[in-house]
């Protein structure tokens, strides 16, 4: 039997050192890859935040521009509404954005617009409304409506047109339905678990609709109630 071959200690030691260097290199590469990934994610996040800031600035700018247009229309006694598509409105393309929070205080009530900018009310007639030419739009804005069978509240775009309180999925969305506000429709405000609600009884089927403002504003609900009451007096329905 032959004795085992002698082991070169120097060679084995060099192999161990090389192996350690290889392991350290792999570890460093993993660390670098992880750091590169983190830097890439942070860069993407900063880019998204920059885009969001630009969109917010653009929405605010558009809100100011359209507000100026509305004030100019009201000053001349002409109707104006962001719901219908203006034929010559340069800001129409942004009306499809969700800029309701910017436009809501401006377009929610024509009396509030005139009070804010010191405008006198025009003569009575179709031009005293915020509706488009040929329509009878009195008031429009966002409200929360309780669904059927007392389900959760949903955000809807409401319009008072003639003796109908129409509601849409969004400003330019699909019409979801309408509430008859002709006589004997009755509307009143109730306190429901600390939140004011506008209760409107439909004149067609006597169904009661529960509405509330997004900001729980009692003043805003009173504006809607006043608009409905005034519309019943202005446009007589069946008695």
* pLDDT tens-digit map of 162-182: 889 999 998 888 899 999 988
pLDDT in tens, 88-97: 444 444 443 4
Read off the DSSP letter of residue 239.
-
Give how far Cα 153 sits from Cα of 78, 112, 136, 210, Å: 35, 26, 28, 9
How many domains does the chain contain in total?
2
pLDDT at 185 over 70: yes
Instruction: Report yes or no on whether pTM surpasses 0.95.
Output: no
169: Cβ contacts below 8 Å, ≥ 6 apart: 156, 157, 175, 176
Beta bridge mates, 137: 161
Instruction: Give the position of tokens 């019409």.
Output: 175
Beta bridge mates, 41: none
Instruction: Give the position of tokens 């071959």.
Output: 5
Residue 128, in any domain of the structure? no
Instruction: Tell me which of 127 and 34 has the higher pLDDT.
Output: 34
Boundary-marking domain end, from 94, 120, 146: 120
Residue range(s) defining the domain that contains residue 231: 136-239
- Please indicate, yes or no, whether residues 116 and 171 belong to a single structural domain of this protein: no
**pLDDT at residue 210, rounded to an integer:** 92
pLDDT at 219 over 70: yes
């Amino acid at each position: 039997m032959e004795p085992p071959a002698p082991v070169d200690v120097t060679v084995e030691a060099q192999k161990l050192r090389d192996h350690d260097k290889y392991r350290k290199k792999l570890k460093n590469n993993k660390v670098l890859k992880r750091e590169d990934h983190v830097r890439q994610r942070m860069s993407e996040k900063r880019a998204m935040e920059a885009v969001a800031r630009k969109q917010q600035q653009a929405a605010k700018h558009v809100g100011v521009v359209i507000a100026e247009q509305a004030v100019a229309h009201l000053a001349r006694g002409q109707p104006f509404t962001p719901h219908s598509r203006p034929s010559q409105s340069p800001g129409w393309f942004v009306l499809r954005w969700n800029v309701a929070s910017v436009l809501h205080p401006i377009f929610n009530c024509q009396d509030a617009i005139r009070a804010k900018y010191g405008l006198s009310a025009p003569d009575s007639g179709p031009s005293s409304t915020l509706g488009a030419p040929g329509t009878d739009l009195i008031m429009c804005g966002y409200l929360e409506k309780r669904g059927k069978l007392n389900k959760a509240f949903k955000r809807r775009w409401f319009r008072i047109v003639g003796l109908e309180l129409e509601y849409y999925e969004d400003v330019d969305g699909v019409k979801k339905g309408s509430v008859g506000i002709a006589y004997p429709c009755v509307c009143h405000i109730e306190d429901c678990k600390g939140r004011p609600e506008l209760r409107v009884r439909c004149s067609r089927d006597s169904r009661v609709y529960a509405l509330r403002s997004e900001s729980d504003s009692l003043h805003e609900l009173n504006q809607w109630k006043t608009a409905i009451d005034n519309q019943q007096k202005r446009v007589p329905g069946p008695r």
